[in-house]
Amino acid sequence: MPRPLATLRERAASGLRAASAWLQDVPLADPMDRRNAATLQVLFLFLGTTVPLNWWRHVLAGMITPQLRVYMFADVAAALFCFASFWLIRRGRLRGGIALFVTAQLSAACAGYAATAVMFDQTVQMLSLLIAGLVLGRRALWTVFAMLLAVVAIGVLANLLPATRTEQALTRAAVILPSFVMSYLVVTLVLDRIIAAMRGALAESKARGERLEREMRERERAQAQLVEAQKLEATGRLASGVAHDFDNILALMAGFSGERHRVDPAAGGSARAEALAEALEGVEQAAQRGMTLTRKLLSFAQPLPARPETFDAGQALAELAPMLRQSFGPDVRVRVGRADTALPIRIDRHQFDLMLLNIASNARDAMPDGGAFEAAAARAADGRVEIVLRDSGHGMPAHVRERAFEPFFTTKPPGSGTGLGLAVAHGLVTGADGSIEVESAPGAGTAFRILLPFAAADAAPAGAQPSEVST
């Protein structure tokens, strides 16, 4: 298609859209009336323009007889009233504009029929029936029908007045009146049934819409009540979980404090001082974790943004080893290993530590009779950093494993856990563009495999010496 023709079509389409928007831009509250207003405005403009032009063409052709002039003037006047109806619709007075149009058309038909005894064009009369019925309703439909009968009656009476044409007029009236009444009555009855069905369907649709709106409001209220109930339940679970987490931290502090009783009395002062310093360092770390948990609690109602930082995952595991060791009883063997190379990751350090401690706490509960727990960091085959936490506990069946990361899901008795730890861990890892998987089977233990992106080399801290902590 040539470009000028395509441009012309685009401009025409744009103009039509603009004209349609302008025609619908009328101050009417009802959307249906607004859509009808656009069509009626086009109709009134068409009739107001074409009817006078058509009569002007007849005048130029010399086809206007003296008897026909009355009907011509009445029809032109009715056409000019179409512009007044158009103006009323633009002002938001749709029903007034239609009433004026119908009155003007029927008046013109009455004048023409009385002057000529001929109903020239019944299209406008039929159009008056349609518009009045469809837009104004059934009462207006039957009113226009009665007005049409009055128009015919006036025309018949006007033709019966001259004595010379009485017999001929009576014959014409006997033929025209029954035919006219029957044809228009049938049309009016059909329109009445159609309008009744349409308005009934619209009323039912409106009632269904209102009922649906009420149901939606009720559902929103029920959902809001459910959310409030869930908040209360979550708050209760959170309170029990907070006590559980603080109990873990206090147990760590008590464990580190108890290290002073395990020092060999025969050891030298430096050995005892070193053991005491190590125990105090563990207490300090546990206290810091407690303060971190407190900050998280304070930000529960107004969450603070995470503060990701780049650090060595292996070194973080090594620093966390004393706390991991204290998380378990003496009958659990704990081994924390790290690869020789630096493994930089970028994540919130405090959340990372709490995540590992939470998984270790779950592992402790899964090994009430003792066992082994291993934690290691290494470079995965796909280049990411892999952190594996493995225990030799009782494991999880398939239906529990599938829901392990589901919020508030827990197999622990009431008051022993929130069911939020693994869900938070999943959100933390996925938020750092990583993934976390669980492998477990009844009697075969559980392994959590965490994969995190390898951070930029220049952002990684200097690689520390490889370390391994075993107990």
Residue pLDDT, tens place only, 294-347:
665 554 444 456 678 899 998 888 888 877 777 777 788 888 887 778 889 998
CATH of the domain at 457: 3.30.565.10
d(CA 142, CA 240): 76
Are residues 361 and 248 in contact, defined by beta-carbon separation less than 8 angstroms? yes
Q: What type of residue is 296?
A: K
- The pair of structure tokens assigned to 185 is 């009555």
DSSP β-bridge partners for residue 348: 308
- Alpha carbon of residue 385 to chain centroid: 38
Contacts for 5-10 with beta carbons within 8 Å, 24 or more apart?
Answer: none
Boundary of a domain, candidates 105, 140, 161: 161
**Which helix (H) or strand (E) element contains residue 95?**
helix 94-116
Contact 385, 375 (CB under 8 A): no
- Work out how many domains the chain is built from and give that number: 2
Separation CA 99–CA 115 (nearest Å): 24
pLDDT reported for residue 118: 64
Better-predicted residue by pLDDT, 418 or 213: 213
80, part of any domain:
yes
Residue 62 located in a structural domain? yes
Res. 59 pLDDT band, cuts 50 70 90: confident
pLDDT confidence of residue 387: 92
The answer as to whether 246 is a domain residue is no
Among 312, 277, 326, 274, which residue's Cα sits nearest to residue 465? Answer: 312
Q: Which comes out higher in pLDDT, residue 86 or 67? A: 86
Helix, strand, coil shares of the chain as percentages rounded to 5? Answer: 70, 10, 20
> Tell me, what's the pLDDT at 287?
77
Give the pLDDT mean for 389-408: 84
**Residue 352 CB neighbours (<10 A):** 25
Strand order in the sheet with 446-452: 435-440, 446-452, 385-391, 371-379, 332-338, 469-470
- 268 found inside a domain: no
Mean pLDDT comparison of 86-90, 173-177, 200-204, 330-334, highest-scoring range = 86-90
Rounded CA gap, 414 and 364, in Å? 17
Q: Rounded to two decimals, what is the model's pTM?
A: 0.43
Average pLDDT, integer, range 27-35: 80
Average pLDDT over residues 17-45: 84
Q: pLDDT tens, 67-85?
A: 788 888 888 898 899 999 9
pLDDT of residue 87: 93
Question: Which residue among 105, 133, 161 closes a domain?
Answer: 161
Residue 162 pLDDT > 80 = no
Q: Return the pLDDT at 60.
A: 86
**The pLDDT value given to residue 388:** 93
Q: Is residue 115 part of a domain?
A: yes
Q: What is the Cα–Cα distance from 310 to 456, expressed in whole angstroms? A: 9
Q: What is the pLDDT of residues 132-160, one digit of tens each?
A: 888 888 888 888 888 888 887 777 776 66
Q: What is the mean pLDDT of residues 400-417?
A: 72
What does the radius of gyration of the chain's CA atoms come to, in whole angstroms? 45
What SS3 state is found at 368?
A: coil
Q: What is the pLDDT of residue 95?
A: 86
Out of 26-35, 125-134, 251-260, 389-398, pick the least confident.
251-260
The answer to whether residue 461 scores a pLDDT higher than 50 is: no
Residue at 137: amino acid letter: G
For 437, the domain range is 306-470
Cβ neighbors of 138 (< 8 A, separation 6 or more) are 192, 195, 196, 199
Report which DSSP code applies to 308.
Answer: E
Query: Please, what sign has the CA dihedral across residues 15, 16, 19, 24?
Result: negative
Strand partners, 337: 376
**Residue 385's pLDDT band (cuts 50, 70, 90):** very high
User: Largest alpha-carbon pair distance within the chain?
Assistant: 152
Residue 45 clears pLDDT 50, i.e. is over it: yes
Residue 354's Cβ-count burial label (10 Å; 0-12, 13-18, 19+) is buried
Residue of higher predicted confidence among 269 and 233: 269
Q: What is the pLDDT of residue 344?
A: 92
Of the candidate ranges 148-152, 366-370, 394-398, the one whose mean pLDDT is the lowest = 148-152
Residues 6+ apart with CB under 8 A from 190: none
- Give the residue-averaged pLDDT of 285-295: 70
CA distances from 286 to 162, 293, 351, 356 (A): 120, 11, 14, 14
User: pLDDT tens digits, residue range 427-452?
Assistant: 888 888 899 999 988 888 999 999 99
Q: Model confidence at 213, in pLDDT bands (50, 70, 90)?
A: confident
* Residue 358 belongs to some domain of the structure: yes
Identify whether 277 is part of a domain: no
Residue 216 lies in a domain: no
Lowest mean pLDDT across 74-78, 122-126, 268-272, 363-367: 268-272
| Percentage of the residues of the chain whose pLDDT score is greater than 90 | 9
Task: With CA atoms as reference, report the closest residue to 280 among 295, 266, 267, 263.
Answer: 263
Task: Among 130, 161, 192, give the residue marking a domain's end.
Answer: 161
Residue 47 pLDDT > 80, yes or no?
yes
Q: What is the DSSP letter of 435?
A: E
Q: What is the structure's pLDDT at 383?
A: 87
Q: What is the mean pLDDT of the chain?
A: 77
Structure tokens at 252: 């760590």
Of 90-94, 107-111, 268-272, the one with minimum mean pLDDT is 268-272
